[in-house]
Structure 1
Amino acid sequence: MRSGRSGLAPCDWGGLPIACHIGRVAGIEADPFPGDLAAWDNRATRLALAALEADGITGRIAAARSRWGAARCAVVIGTSTSGVETLERAYRARADGAPLAAGYSLRHHNDHQAVAAFLQRLCGLDGPAYTISTACSSSAKALVDAVQLIEAGLADAVLCGGVDSLCRTSLAGFDALELVSRAPCRPCDAARDGLSIGEGAAFLLVEREGSGPRLAGFGESTDGTSMSTPPEDGAGAHAAMAAALQRAGIAPAAVGYVNLHGTATPANDSAECAAVARLFGAQVPVSSLKGLVGHTLGAAGAVEAVMALIAMEAGLLPGNAGLATPDPEIACAVLAESREAPLSHLLSNAFGFGGNNCALVLAR
């Protein structure tokens, strides 16, 4: 983030003849996988495992389990495709008209509950465990549900976040919608022409009591204007952001940075930035993180919330990777490069197809 170095590279996935760039996690296939959970071995659970092991969160989860009891620790994740990549391989490997290979299991792979069940067993948690799938807002909504489970008295700690892996379904599907750029994505750029698909996972532990950064507020809305296109004025985005500020009990001026959903499609960036400018004014620093990692779809809300938290801890306003010529029609202060600045509150957006909108206010 600090240097603006993108992880996007030319597509080398699955022999697909699509000239685009992707955000691929290199070497994930060779990582060790727990033998007692081998039935759940697929690309999505491997990404989830890598995310858990990245920064020591497993120790925090164990401490929460000891503090609250396993039955009071829940799991909520967001995903769009779960382990569908395993189904794709099984389908391509079968003979014409033959059933799928005996080793394929819907329950352990592309059932949307598969990753949540894997995480629950891996971490020894016995509270509620479920999955949210609202396209690209899925894992942001998982954070919201974590707070609501605690407020409802159903849990004291919640492991929440999201995961999505690269797969032919996503790459070919978004390309069929003519939403995939042939170049690395360029959010907010005058020449932006589509997104770059990525993959990833990110998790947070939300507890009833504790120290560290806070999910100070959240807002959700569903505008339902179109299956894939937001309203031009960003009304749904505006409603979600305004509700997040209201719940946090802060004025727009208290927010020092807005992490845009920023997909680099012409319609999304224009509508979102119109809503941001209407609520915050034209001076609040904004950027999209998708030029760094691509659009991780159902994981994007959590992945980018974690990236934004890391930036907050580092006193960094992340630059908008891929921005060469700012779109003069976008009335927001888009950060061309990263710069140092203290932050007390930031807002992170995640919007999904069908008008599923979610905004998170994160605080020190």
Structure 2
Amino acid sequence: MSATTPFAIAAHTATCATGSGRAALRAALRDGRSGLRRNDFPHTALATWIGRVDGVEDVALPAPLAGWDCRNNRLAWLGLQQDGFLDAVAAARARLGAARVATVVGTSTSSIGATEEAYRRLDAEARFPDELARPIVHTPHSLGDFVQRALALEGPAVTVATACSSSAKVFAQAARLLDAGFADAAVVGGVDTLCGSVLYGFNALELVAAEPCRPFDAARRGLSLGEAAGFALLVRGDVAPDAPRLLGYGESSDAHHMSAPHPDGLGARLAMQAALDRAGLAAGDIDYLNLHGTATPANDRVEAAVVAALFPDTLHASSTKGWTGHTLGAAGILEAVVALGAIEHGELPGTLGLETPDPVCGPQIRREPAARPVRHAMSTSFGFGGNNCALVFGRA
């Protein structure tokens, strides 16, 4: 397997239930302050906890982008405005040209919340109301089209939809685009928002917990759903010599089951090993691992067994979904930002909600946070249908 070209991450940002921007996320992780709340999402009546982002309803898109207005794109716009990300992309666009900057974003439900609203408001002739008769917000590519236009980019634009691995796989797809010469930089990221299809859909699968999620706990009952927006700017060359790098990625599609993981974690392990191989690293070189860790009984059991078999006892691994909820198609980018934060600040999160570890957990899965230098970090994301992805980040 050929090594991945180490692309610099010139800028990155995340907005989720803990607040807008990286500083809010870092503070919540450090202080053990969860962003989860009792479900108060409109048109849903489920007794559960959610990771809802405050203020999305009040976001106003710029007038030229009004045709893309929906909750998902509002959250995307809110996220793009954090951590100087708009300025970083503008600088890359000016230096390289708009046609040489790609847009690769991930989502699972895109703007389906707008489609739900349109069906709730059908007129007497079963037509969408005029203000929602906008085809672009009823397609999976709504997010990718919006982000490309919002950033005035003209390079390749792709929306990846592989369920919960969507915005992890964008790093791999962008790396291939850059390696192939189709672009010199890429905006990668992901956005997913809460909606009825998400909340009722996962509830129908009997995966939603009535209490805040408890990843890897022996008494875990299921996940807490959330929403998030996150983005990163990958660039070719040494234009950002002090920036962290994408060192490797690994993907697999085990296709074991529509919604359940492979019982032996085959796909998960293949993705992790491929990421290590592309990075030219051994499992013992990883200092921090952000786990998928959804708090569903099957996922956590399988992932814990894979981690125990692949990594040494010295690894610090944790799930951060107790802070943010499971943000589905935005989970990959959100947890990549957490991994990048561990490299930048030497702060390794614990696992919020973990009280009594499941006996299958090895010593790698940590309840408490730690502080120590991190040279290499990995994040893992596993989607429905066995769409798995692992990413390795590190310093140059």
TM over 0.5: yes
Q: Distance in 2 between matches of 1:324 and 1:314?
A: 26
Matched, 1:262 2:262: no
Q: Distance in 2 between matches of 1:198 and 1:286?
A: 21
Give the aligned partner of residue 155 of structure 1. Answer: 183
Q: CA deviation at 1:106?
A: 4.9
Inter-CA distance 316–93: structure 2 relative to 1 (3 Å threshold): same
Contact 1:4 1:338 in 2 (8 A): no
Q: CA deviation at 1:120?
A: 1.2
Matched, 1:80 2:108: yes
Give the aligned partner of residue 62 of structure 1. Answer: 90
Matched, 1:23 2:51: yes
Q: Distance in 2 between matches of 1:176 and 1:328?
A: 28
Contact 2:43 2:196 in 1 (8 A): no
Give the aligned partner of residue 226 of structure 1. Answer: 257
Give the aligned partner of residue 381 of structure 2. Answer: 350
Contact 2:289 2:339 in 1 (8 A): no
Matched, 1:290 2:324: no
Q: Distance in 1 between matches of 2:216 and 2:124?
A: 46
Matched, 1:244 2:285: no
Q: CA deviation at 1:331?
A: 1.9
SS of 2:273's equivalent in the other structure is: helix
Q: Distance in 2 between matches of 1:219 and 1:291?
A: 25
Matched, 1:280 2:333: no
Contact 2:288 2:339 in 1 (8 A): no
Matched, 1:51 2:79: yes
Please list, as runs of the form range in 1=range in 2, the aligned pairs for 1:1-364 lying within 5 A after superposition.
1-95=29-123, 98-209=126-237, 210-211=239-240, 212-364=243-395
SS of 1:310's equivalent in the other structure is: helix
Q: Distance in 1 between matches of 2:158 and 2:131?
A: 25
SS of 2:110's equivalent in the other structure is: coil
1:13-68 C-alpha deviation (Å, 9 max, x unpaired): 12322100000001111123201111111111111111111100111101111111
SS of 1:241's equivalent in the other structure is: helix
Q: CA deviation at 1:199?
A: 0.3
SS of 1:329's equivalent in the other structure is: coil
Contact 1:72 1:127 in 2 (8 A): yes
Q: CA deviation at 1:297?
A: 0.4
- Unmatched tracts of structure 1, length 5 or more: none
- Unmatched tracts of structure 2, length 5 or more: 1-28
> RMSD of aligned C-alpha atoms?
1.2
Matched positions, count: 364
Contact 2:123 2:129 in 1 (8 A): no
Contact 1:81 1:110 in 2 (8 A): no
Q: CA deviation at 1:107?
A: 3.0
SS of 1:191's equivalent in the other structure is: coil
- Name the stretch that deviates more: 308-317 or 286-295: 308-317
Q: CA deviation at 1:97?
A: 5.2
Q: Distance in 1 between matches of 2:336 and 2:162?
A: 17
Q: Structure 2 counterpart of 1:267, which letter?
A: A
SS of 2:264's equivalent in the other structure is: coil
**Normalising to structure 1: TM-score of the pair?**
0.98
Contact 1:164 1:297 in 2 (8 A): yes
Q: Structure 2 counterpart of 1:231, which letter?
A: H
1:66-104 C-alpha deviation (Å, 9 max, x unpaired): 111111111010001111111111211224652111221
Q: Structure 2 counterpart of 1:274, which letter?
A: A
Q: Structure 1 stretches (4+) deviating beyond 4 angstroms?
A: none
Q: Structure 2 counterpart of 1:160, which letter?
A: V
